[in-house]
Amino acid sequence: MCYEGGEAYVSFAEVYDAFMDDVPYEEWCAFLTGLLQEHGCAGGLVAELGCGTGTMTELLSQAGYDMIGVDCSEEMLAAAMEKRAETGSDILYLLQDMREFELYGTVAAVVSVCDSLNYLTEYEDLVRTFRLVNNYLDPGGVFLFDLNTEYKYRELLGERTIAENREDQSFIWDNYYDEEQKINEYGLTLFIKEECGLYRKQEEFHYQRAYSVKEIRKALSEAGMEFVAVYDAFTRNPPGETSGRIHVVAKEHGKS
């Protein structure tokens, strides 16, 4: 994703998968496919917004869905296409901003994971994206997405510095959360080892916004979509005060 940050996920794309190697993508995919099937989508075309390096896109493809990946970072999509070449999948990748994405027709479902929608820091952009999703969904099609919560930004990240040192790359993450604006900012300093043995230093800035469930429901309604459910991360339980991530289920509305 690369909206308010401008240069976000440029250098980070080189090391993104390495630093995300502890994410249980297979379990995440099983959760998503369970929800998709529960809401009548056992196969067909599925678009992923903010697909990044394509890890989830590949897993959903392996689960039997015909995948389209949409992302606005050339560098992240380059990594995704390298995976496609290795696996031999037929995923279609589109270099597009999710606020203006265009598909060739309607799809059975749209998914967005790893807090990609939090990168839309303007409420109007969220509504705009939801309208496009509604437009490109089949009648009754399902929309699944997750979001980081305000609790996570305020209590779990807050004003923290996170660092990780590995043999070929390291990072320093300086986090700041503005409670009034509900904007989370983190500066990412990367040290990437070159072939000569020296380390290249790169800096990126990322911005995300916290949205309440009330705001999400309102945005879906304004976009003409049907709100179905919201869950605490990876469960069928309602979110609580200490939920760090939520999953939302919505459906297309208006087509016959």
pLDDT band at 228 (very low <50, low <70, confident <90, very high): very high
Kindly state the average pLDDT of the residues 80-99.
Answer: 96
For the segment 12-52, what is each residue's pLDDT rounded down to a tens digit?
566 555 656 667 889 999 999 999 999 999 999 999 999 99
In order of 48, 70, 71, 84, 87, the CA distances from 91 in angstroms are: 11, 11, 13, 7, 10
102 has pLDDT over 60: yes
**Mean pLDDT of all residues belonging to the chain:** 90
| Range with the poorest average pLDDT among 3-7, 132-136, 217-221 | 3-7
The helix (H) or strand (E) run that includes residue 71 is strand 65-71
pLDDT band at 2 (very low <50, low <70, confident <90, very high): very low
Concatenating the DSSP letter of every residue in 154-190 gives IIIISS-EEEEE-SSEEEEEEEEEETTTTEEEEEEEE
Domain with CATH 3.40.50.150 in the chain: 12-148+211-251
End-to-end CA distance of the chain: 33
pLDDT band at 1 (very low <50, low <70, confident <90, very high): very low
Kindly state the average pLDDT of the residues 104-110.
Answer: 97
Q: What is the pLDDT of residue 27?
A: 94
Kindly state the average pLDDT of the residues 209-234.
Answer: 98
| CATH number belonging to domain 152-208 | 2.20.25.110
Topology, domain 12-148+211-251: Rossmann fold (3.40.50)
d(CA 33, CA 69): 16
The helix (H) or strand (E) run that includes residue 30 is helix 25-38
Give the residue among 142, 58, 147, 133 at the shortest CA–CA distance from 100. Answer: 133
Domain with CATH 2.20.25.110 in the chain: 152-208
